[in-house]
Structure formats: structure tokens, C-alpha cells
Structure 1
Amino acid sequence: MQDRTQLVAHARRTIARGSKSFAAASMLFDRVTRERVWLLYAWCRAADDLADAQDMGGDLGDQSEAEARLATIRERTALALAGQPTGDASFDGLGVVAAECGLTQAMCDDVIAGFAMDAADWRPRDRDDMLQYCYHVAGAVGVMMAKVMGVPDDDGDTLASDTLDRACDLGIAFQLGNIVRDLWEDDAAGRCYLPVEWLVEADIPPGQHMKPIYREPLVAMVQQACLLARTYEASARIGAARLPFRSRWAILSATGIYGAIARKVEDAGEHGWDHRAFTSRFEKLGHVAGGLRASMAPPPEGCAEQAKGRPLTRLGFAERAREKGYAA
């Protein structure tokens, strides 16, 4: 197994290839936190790629062996958490950051449950199902990232518990943005993360939502999803204010970058999928500057009130997961 320095170098290359937006924001963390963030990101990226038979989030590969790939993710993750070599630097890196920051099997299982939902060709029935998926593939990652940034366990600590809730909320906001941005790519891969109830109410037949004739109702659904994203983002800004300065700056910069992508899709209306929305290097620098300003001020007025509109929070997602049998 490679040593920590080699694993960090591998993780840095991974985030540089896998997410230019998060790679840019990650440079704002202090060195120790930055390296840990990279290590956690590399596991998330490797597991996601393995689950979808893809490379760095690219086109989906052959999905016929999804359950076998899911079993590999479980096996390598368990080995990593036990401090054993896995044969994969991204999973070995998870073992390092888990030991340093107290990441647990249960935390990893919450994320892997999202891959299991895709492996089962799962579709969200309603809004809460859509948010449940966002929780597993991104909200649970937000909780792990908060632990990496030094947020303590929530056992008996009300403030820590609330901060972890809001870290989860940021992941959900990011994933809602991903859903609206990637509607075209997901449709090409035979996937759709918009609630079935929304499609039925709009009289859109299954698998037809990207047809030009349905663009008007599709735009209305994107607006609903973006409104939800802003609600969760408002909550996340309250939690970010409690982080150390460098972490606060990095997270608020990432919030600006990812939020801008969702706003571009929303603002483009029926043309939101003419090309894949992204932020330019110049725009990223603007959001880094905006993140710096935001990190030196209290959360914007109205965040607390807006955050009350969240339909579900971390504990609610955990309860739904138990009730509905969503498990890694």
C-alpha cells in the first residue's frame, strides 16, 4: 500500500480531473484539511465511477454487472476502514482519512446506499424520494466532509448535531443542482431523478420529459427543484458560519460556484440543456472573492427563515431510510 504522501498525491490528481469546481475551492482549506478533503473526495469519485462503470463521471458504461460492482465497493470500503490494503489508492486513502477524522462504516454505508439505489434502477416517486436520493449520494458526503473539517460527533452536542444537519443540507443543495444540470445526460443513460408524481401531473409520459414538446412543464419542474436547492443552501450557510475561517471560505466559495451552475440552467429556461452549464475560471475566481466576503460576515438575513422550508433534514432522511429499507 502506498504511504500517506503518495495517497494524497493520487487524491489531488483525482480531484483535479474529477471536479474543477471543487478542486478550485479546496485550495482554500488549510493544508491538513485540504489533504483530508482530497482523500475523501477520491473515495467518493472512485466508488461512483465503479458503481456506474464510468471514468471520472463520464459516460455510463455497461450496467449489466451493477450488483457485482456494488459488492466490490462494499468490500474495498470495509477493508479500508479496517486499515487493510485494498489494491486501490482511492479506497486506501479512505482508510487514512477515516482513521484521522473518525469516519465510520455507517457514514460510508449511507453513501453506498445511493449507489445501491441506482444499481436497482430506482426512481423517485415523489419530492421526498428525490430528496432521499440527494441525501444518500451527496448529503451524507456533506456530513463526512464536516467531520473532516473538525465538526465533532453529535452525541449529546446539540450545536454539533445542528452543524452536521446543515452540512448535509449543502450536499442536498449541490445534488439538486446536479439533477437539473444533468437531465439530458441522465435521460440518455435511461435515468431520471425528477419525481414520477411531477411528471404525471404534467402529463409527461415515462421517458419523454426531454422531448421539445414538454420543455415548458420541464422548466417549471426545474424551478421547483432550484427553489428547494436555495432552501437547503440557506440552511447550509448558517452551518458554514461555524467552521474555522479557511474551511468557511472554501465552503462558501464552493456554494457560490455550484449555486451559479443551477442558476444558469434555471435562467436559461427552455434552452437550459443546449449545452452543459458550467462556470468559467473567471467566474470561479469571482465566487472565491464572494466566498471571502461572505466568510467575514454573518449569514445573510433571511437564511434562518428560508431554511425552515426544508421538507426533510438529516434525521428525517435516516428515519426514512430505515422505514423504506434503503441500505448499502
Structure 2
Amino acid sequence: MMRGLFIALSESRRLREIGERSTIGQRISSRFVAGTQVEDALRATAAVNQAGASVSIDNLGENVTNAEEARSSAGLYHQLLDAIAARRLNANISLKLTHMGLDVDENLARELVTGLVTKAASMVPRNFVRVDMEGSAYTQRTLDFVDELHRMPGNQDCVGAVIQAYMRRAESDIRSLLAGGIRIRLCKGAYKEPPDIAFQKKSEVDANYVKLMKILMKSGIYHGLATHDEDIINQAKIFATREGIPRDSFEFQMLYGIRRDLQHSLVRQGWRMRVYIPFGTEWYPYLMRRLAERPANVLFIARNLFRQ
């Protein structure tokens, strides 16, 4: 019920307008979103790099309604890649296909994303584009896109997918991606999905996450484990030690502004850490989805307003 509520809130334009203008809304967004401009994201990236972690930058947005918006979004990512190279930042980019115009024109989205992946692959050192996962209506199309991009000459290891552990199809998708040598970011899931295609209980999602995590860690391919769950993180550390999995063969991933204490602790312990840094004006839907992932995060975020 609470999950559905936050998903509904994320889609409310009226509440978004109120939230983005309110003092508390601006305070929350400043903690969990780097800002509204490219320079804000780059400044935050430099600070995170200085603290010993790498970064994935995401220009918040999805479901654009025309080609002009899609091209503008792609243009920002080109600007980011140029700045990452010029400033020698340890960062890559993360994008959604609907932000690149998938709902407007699939060929346009293919053109724009191909251009970004090709650019990332041509950089020195080579960079990387993470194609984020959206709701189940886009799952297969997104995976097909990533597979197609990865097969293009020169693109290997420069594009990757995201798998949501709450999806019942997740293990099958992971095995297909691994067969193609594609890098994966494993997260729990952020959209409202029916019981026939997604686990509904936290215990089920957690159990599936750990199962999939172990498959990824033993695959020999570099993957990202996106979670703030300390129990799961500890299980990953124990598993890596027991199985002799090198610490540089995978990375933990966390969101900007959440559990910075844990991020710093993992870096000090010698584990690889990547921080997901969102920027842009569309922070309200992003925040609501973080709450939808687990309604208990309401209290978690409230605590993090005052926690380092």
C-alpha cells in the first residue's frame, strides 16, 4: 500500500511543483541531488573522487515527449563526458532510454545512445555508459538495446545494464547478460509491479538479491552491487573473502547523500565504491521512487538529513 502511494506521489505534477518550491523540499534535494546544472554534478563528482570513490552521473529525467527534449538530454551527456575527460574525473554516466526518446522514436533513441556509447569507447581512458532499468514495460527492450550496443565493434566493456532483484525474471536475465560478457549493476527495484512478475516481500527481494549477487561476484566480469543494506554488504564481503574474489573485481554502489559514513568506511577498508550522483530539476520523482523502494526509507532519509 505504502509502495503504491509513493509511486503515485512520484507521478503527481501538482505535488511535484509544491515540493520543489518548498523549503524542506529544497533542503532534501540539496542533500540527495547534486544540483540542477552540469557544473553542480561535476563539482560533487570531484569531491567524491577526492574522498576515494568513483562516480556515476545521472541527469534526472525520463519519458520525454518530443525529439528536441531527447536530443537536449543527450547533449548534456556529451557535455558530461567531455568534462570528465578534461578534468580527469573518475566517473561514468548513467541514463534512461525513455530520457533518450524511446517513447517518441526508437530509432532516435538508438541513434542518441549509440553516439554516447561510441564516444565513451573512444575516450582515453575508455569510459562507460550504464543504461538504467525502468518499469517492466521497458525491461526486454532495454536489455535488447544493451545487447545490441555491446555487440557493436569497439563497444565491449563500455556499456552495461541494470537488473532489479525484485523481478522474478532477474536470474534468467542475468545469465543471458553474463553469456554476452555484459557488466551489470544489481539493485533491488524501484517501480510498482504486480506479484506475478515481482517479489512483494522484502525478505524475498533480499534473498534473491544475495543469490544474484553471488552469481555476479563469481562470474569474472566486473559488476556493481547497489545497496545500502549493511547486512547484504557484510555478506558480500564475507563471500568475497571466502571465495578468494579480488576486491578490484567488483564494486559497491550507493546513492549520493545516503550513508556517507558507510561509503567512507568501505573505502577505508579497501573496497571499491561508486557513488551515484543525480542532478537536474526532476528530483521529486527520483526521491519518491527511493521511498517507494522501501517505505521505511522515510525515517531513513529523515535521519540522514542530520547524519554525515
**Between structures 1 and 2, the one with greater helix share:** 1
Q: Which has the higher strand share?
A: 2
TM-score for both structures, normalised by structure 2: 0.33
User: More relative contact order in 1 or in 2 (CA 8 Å, sep 6+)?
Assistant: 2
**If the length of structure 1 is used for normalisation, what is the TM-score?**
0.31
